[in-house]
Amino acid sequence: MDPTLEAISAEEYDRLTSLYGPLTDAVRDLIDATIRTDADENTLREARAAIAAVTDALRAGQLRTRPEVRIGADGRPVVWSNAVIGLRNPIAPPLTVNHDAPGRCWSEFSLGAAYEGPPGLVHGGVCALVLDHMLGEAASEGLTKPLFTGTITVRYLRGTPLGELRAEAEIDRAEAVKTFVRGHLSDASGITAEAEGVFVRPSWAREAS
């Protein structure tokens, strides 16, 4: 299953973002309402029917069956469906990742009820998901270099509360085909979880670089 590779202009990127972004945001709101509602049985039944009708309408158009990779004007892949940063993926918070130096990045974002594990706290696995992504962004310098995650270790210092959070990641060192990256997740009171990852350049990309 080869992805479709296609370069798009900044204008096209903006057009697609304004086309799909509001729909995806609306589904994010719906996810939150679905988890938290105390509506009566009748409202729930009507909601379900209305949602099914929207799904049918969206599926009446052709559905994307092959993964799609487009390359933006800045050389970064445009990732619609990515589970952490995908602009078209309602599951993604989404994170906006800022690269402030080569091999270093940060993101500030908010995690609501959909990301809960223990009551009131972010699921430990969601912390790992976010940290894995951020470490990968740092290692690959914004997903512009082909790299696979070899290993990631997450140390939980305390529970991460739902709400406003920040994640940072930075390349520690590189040795041959391996890149070592560190990062952490924090709330207003400080670091809640730390991570270390080893990223590996795939063999097919070694000759090319």
Site for its own copies in 98-137 (CB under 8 A): 113-117, 119-120, 123-126, 128-133, 136
Work out how close the CB of 130 gets to its own copies at its nearest, in angstroms, rounded to a whole number: 7
For its own copies, the closer of residues 82 and 179 by Cβ is: 82
Q: Is the peptide bond before 94 cis (omega within 30 degrees of 0)?
A: yes
Interatomic CA distance for residues 178 and 1, integer angstroms: 27
- Is there a contact between 52 and 60 (Cβ–Cβ < 8 Å)? no
Work out how close the CB of 85 gets to its own copies at its nearest, in angstroms, rounded to a whole number: 10
Residue 49 carries which side chain, given as an amino acid letter? Answer: A
The residue range among 97-105, 143-151, 165-173, 181-189 that interacts with its own copies, by the rule CB under 8 A, is: 143-151
Q: Which residues have C-beta within 8 Å of that of residue 31, sequence separation ≥ 6? A: 90, 91, 114
Q: Which of residues 48-87 bind its own copies (CB under 8 A)?
A: 48, 50-55, 57-65, 67-69, 80-84, 86
Q: Site mask, its own copies, residues 2-31, x = CB under 8 A?
A: -x---------------xx-xxx-xx-xxx
Work out how close the CB of 99 gets to its own copies at its nearest, in angstroms, rounded to a whole number: 18
Candidate list 8, 71, 72, 90; residue touching its own copies; CB under 8 A: 90
Candidate list 6, 96, 150, 164; residue touching its own copies; CB under 8 A: 150
DSSP state of 76: -
Q: Which of residues 152-171 bind its own copies (CB under 8 A)?
A: 152-156, 159
Interatomic CA distance for residues 132 and 52, integer angstroms: 34
Distances (CA, A) of 3 to 19, 41, 131: 22, 43, 25
The closest of 130, 124, 132, 147 to 204, measured between CA atoms, is 147
The whole-angstrom distance between residue 126's C-alpha and the CA centroid of its chain comes to 11
Q: Which residues have C-beta within 8 Å of that of residue 72, sequence separation ≥ 6? A: 8, 10, 13, 78
Candidate list 6, 10, 37, 108; residue touching its own copies; CB under 8 A: 37
For its own copies, the closer of residues 102 and 202 by Cβ is: 202
For its own copies, the closer of residues 89 and 179 by Cβ is: 89
Residues near its own copies (CB under 8 A), total: 82
Candidate list 98, 151, 164, 206; residue touching its own copies; CB under 8 A: 151
Interatomic CA distance for residues 46 and 24, integer angstroms: 21
